[in-house]
Amino acid sequence: MDGHSLVETLDPAETTQERTPRAARQVQVDPPLGMLAELTHRCPLQCPYCSNPLKLLKAADELDTETWLSVFSQAADLGILQVHLSGGEPTLRQDLEQFVERLASRGVYTNLITAGVNLTQERLRNLVSRGLDHLQLSLQAIDPVISDKIGNYKNSLAKKLDVARWVREAGLPLTINAPTHRHNIGQAPALIELALELGADRLEIAHVQYYGWAANNKAALMPDYERVLVEAAFVAEAKTRLKGILNIDYVTPDHYAQFPKPCMGGWAKDVLNITPEGKVLPCHAAESLGMRFDTVKDRPLAGIWYEGEAFNRFRGFDWMKEPCRSCPRKEIDFGGCRCQAFALTGDAAATDPACSLSPNHHLMEEITGSYTSAEPPPFVYRRIGRA
Ligand code: SF4
Ligand code: FES
């Protein structure tokens, strides 16, 4: 592969549901930079905001070891620089060490994204000895009772803090990922103190995105606008104050944004995602679009990236409708999130309703208003076999 490829994109009049012959347009496609490998949907935690799909895959249907090893070799051949080993809970795969070793042997940077509760210090040392480069630990809350309630798992916080210390003892960089919502908003000051105490390199304070299981729990999780504003101001000040000491990433909630996020840095532009059964997706929630996705069992990864129909559907700008088509911000945010546009309007090519210029922006405001004023309902916990 020469590192660049020119491919056709579909006619902009096409929607996700209508598949008609395309007009040829040339869009330059560069090799992907990163890959999210969802090794399994199994997880000891049951967080109500999980981004995994409503229909979770059973262990028997997961890709086997040899297929994953082949995928990782293909990823290296394709030029991928970073692989994020995720789930579900990736440490439930007993072949995780082999995956780390294969990627490290090909010079690919490996990041383990884990809830940490079933990781032992011995296994962590082993993973590091096989070449693991980085660990990202999720933190449900800094209050032990809320932490246990969100994950529906006992003694979760103490276990996670042990893992964070082992990571630093092993000399590995540590990212703490703290999903934020109605039940833990306001924890940012204490979270930052904790991240500093643990010697974390990076802290992600990320408002929950309402895809997958989180969509089921919108009413339980949506925070009040005033509290979001207070938190955003605090985090902005802390980011400046701690520059060079702690890298803080803050992901704001779409529902209160003026413009959408550049979801995935643009559709099929930099990263790809592989599900536990081997489907190759441009983003983790793409299955919700009802499109057909190739799997690593059907064709090589490079063919899917450069020529796959789903990957080319929203590349470039020709597919866009107004107001995005003539908007100067289209090169910044790419019209927002296709999955959110589809979920709220039924049209994956529509402007993301998170955008204040979208004719459907009122849908976001209606959703927010109707949820935050009411008493939150109980969580619908994520469980395999339940949708
Ligand atoms: Fe982004 Fe489209 Fe909104 Fe412009 S109209 S800011 S491109 S989402
Ligand atoms: Fe799929 Fe944003 S989550 S494009």
Closest residue by Cα to residue 254 from 359, 353, 350: 353
Q: Is the separation of the CB atoms in 288 and 339 below 8 Å?
A: yes
- 351 touches ligand 1 (CB under 6 Å): yes
| CA distance linking residue 216 with residue 170, whole number of Å | 38
Q: Which atom of ligand 1 is nearest to the CA of 323?
A: 5
Indicate the residue type of 259. Answer: F
State residue 385's pLDDT score.
Answer: 65
- 352 touches ligand 1 (CB under 6 Å): yes
Mutate to test the pocket of ligand 1, among 258, 355, 356 (most ligand atoms within 8 A of CB): 355
The yes-or-no verdict on residue 272 having pLDDT over 70 is yes
Ligand nearest the Cα atom of residue 337:
2
Ligand 2 midpoint to CA 341 (Å): 9
- 257 touches ligand 1 (CB under 6 Å): no
Residue nearest to atom 6 of ligand 1 (CA): 329
383 vs 133, higher pLDDT: 133
Question: pLDDT category, 210, cuts 50, 70, 90?
Answer: confident
- 337 touches ligand 2 (CB under 6 Å): yes
State residue 106's pLDDT score.
Answer: 98
Mutate to test the pocket of ligand 1, among 254, 321, 333, 339 (most ligand atoms within 8 A of CB): 333
Residue nearest to atom 8 of ligand 1 (CA): 335
- 313 touches ligand 2 (CB under 6 Å): no
Q: What is the 3-state secondary structure (H, E, C) of the chain?
A: CCCCEEECCCCCCCCCCCCCCCCCCCEEECCCCEEEEECCCCCCCCCCCCCCCCCCCCHHHCCCHHHHHHHHHHHHHHCCCEEEEECCCHHHCCCHHHHHHHHHHCCCEEEEEECCCCCCHHHHHHHHHCCCCEEEEECCCCCHHHHHHHHCCCCHHHHHHHHHHHHHHCCCCEEEEEEECCCCCCCHHHHHHHHHHHCCCEEEEEECCCCCHHHHCHHHHCCCHHHHHHHHHHHHHHHHHCCCCCEEEEECCHHHCCCCCCHHHCCCCCEEEECCCCEEECCCCHHHHCCCCCECCCCCHHHHHHHCHHHHHCCCCCCCCCCCCCCCCHHHHCCCCHHHHHHHHCCCCCCCCCCCCCCCHHHHHHHHHHHHCCCCCCCCCCCCCCC
- 350 touches ligand 2 (CB under 6 Å): no
- 164 touches ligand 2 (CB under 6 Å): no
The yes-or-no verdict on residue 87 having pLDDT over 60 is yes
The yes-or-no verdict on residue 372 having pLDDT over 60 is yes
Q: Which residues contact 274 (CB under 8 A, 6 or more apart)?
A: 35, 36, 37, 38, 71, 280, 281, 296
Question: pLDDT category, 365, cuts 50, 70, 90?
Answer: confident
Ligand nearest the Cα atom of residue 341:
2
Ligand 2 midpoint to CA 288 (Å): 9
Q: What average pLDDT score do residues 54-64 get?
A: 93
What global pTM score does this model have? Answer: 0.89
| CA distance linking residue 208 with residue 281, whole number of Å | 21
Question: pLDDT category, 332, cuts 50, 70, 90?
Answer: very high
Q: Which atom of ligand 1 is nearest to the CA of 356?
A: 3
Mutate to test the pocket of ligand 1, among 254, 258, 259 (most ligand atoms within 8 A of CB): 259
Q: Each residue of 5-30: pLDDT tens digit?
A: 433 333 333 333 333 334 344 688 99
- 225 touches ligand 1 (CB under 6 Å): no
